[in-house]
């Protein structure tokens, strides 16, 4: 496994606990385990100086909190934890992942207040997709919350300089949720939608 960069085991019937060694593969850039039957906690330990860019655990039965060792994934661009049973407060500390562009937490058991990004200057500086729907958060999102999410407002980029994330990765489906209605878009590159990399 020392040379594997992409590990895609999605859309199978794999079950059990995700092996802890998955967090230690130094060469992995993409780990896609979505649409399986994994249960238990998310990987507890992600090794320092790992190369993860995409971590997709969507649509499993994962529980417990979001592990703080994800902060060791300094190159992480896409984190999709949607459609699980994760029980935690809003993981505001993920805002310190300076390359993070997609954060999907929908359809879990997150609860409490959504931490206010206006309290820090370094909160999700490159985030472009942010999905918190179908959880148990209790507060309204104030306009102040979005003031530091400047990457979502970057509409003046020079198109010649755009380089789409994951352009060498496979095509997939994207679920778009708008006011409780889901719409499935097919045959689009999962991590290329609305995303650019400087």
pTM above 0.85, yes or no: no
* 61, pLDDT greater than 80: yes
* Domain ranges for the chain: 6-156
Average pLDDT over residues 89-117: 89
For 78, how many CA atoms within 13 A lie in the half-sphere containing its CB? 23
- What is the residue-wise DSSP string for 49-86? T----EEE--SSEEEEPPPGGGGG-TT--EEE--SSEE
- Give tens-digit pLDDT for 9-60: 999 999 999 998 888 888 999 999 999 999 999 988 898 889 999 999 999 9
Quote the pLDDT of residue 193: 37
Q: With cut-offs at 50, 70 and 90, classify the pLDDT of residue 169.
A: low
* 197, pLDDT greater than 90: no
Give dist(CA 151, CA 122) in Å, integer. 12
Regarding predicted confidence, which is higher, 112 or 2?
112
* 79, pLDDT greater than 90: yes
Quote the pLDDT of residue 139: 72
Instruction: For the chain, give the mean pLDDT.
Output: 79
Of 127, 119, 120, 118, the residue nearest 98 (C-alpha): 127
Instruction: For the chain, list the strands marked E by DSSP.
Output: 6-8, 15-17, 30-32, 37-41, 54-56, 61-64, 78-80, 85-86, 102-104, 111-112, 129-131, 136-137, 171-178, 181-189
Considering the segment(s) 6-156 as one domain, its CATH architecture is: Alpha-Beta Horseshoe (3.80)
Quote the pLDDT of residue 189: 38
């Amino acid at each position: 496994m020392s040379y594997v960069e992409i590990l895609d085991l999605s859309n199978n019937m794999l079950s059990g606990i995700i092996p802890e060694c998955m967090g230690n593969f130094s060469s992995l850039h993409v780990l896609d385990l979505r649409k399986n039957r994994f249960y238990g906690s998310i990987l507890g330990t992600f090794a320092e100086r790992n190369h993860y860019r995409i971590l997709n655990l969507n649509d499993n039965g994962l529980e417990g909190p979001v592990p703080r060792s994800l902060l060791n994934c300094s190159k992480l661009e896409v984190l999709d934890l949607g459609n699980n049973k994760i029980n935690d407060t809003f993981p505001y500390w993920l805002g310190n992942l300076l390359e993070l562009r997609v954060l999907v937490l929908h359809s879990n058991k997150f609860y409490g207040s959504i931490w206010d990004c206006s309290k820090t200057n370094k909160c999700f500086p490159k985030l472009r997709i942010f999905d918190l729907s179908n959880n148990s958060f209790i507060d309204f999102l104030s306009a102040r919350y979005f003031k530091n999410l400047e990457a979502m407002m970057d509409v003046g980029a020079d198109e010649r300089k755009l380089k789409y994330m994951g352009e060498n990765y496979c095509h997939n489906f994207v679920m778009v949720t708008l006011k409780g209605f889901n719409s499935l878009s097919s045959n689009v590159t999962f991590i290329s939608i609305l995303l650019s990399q400087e």
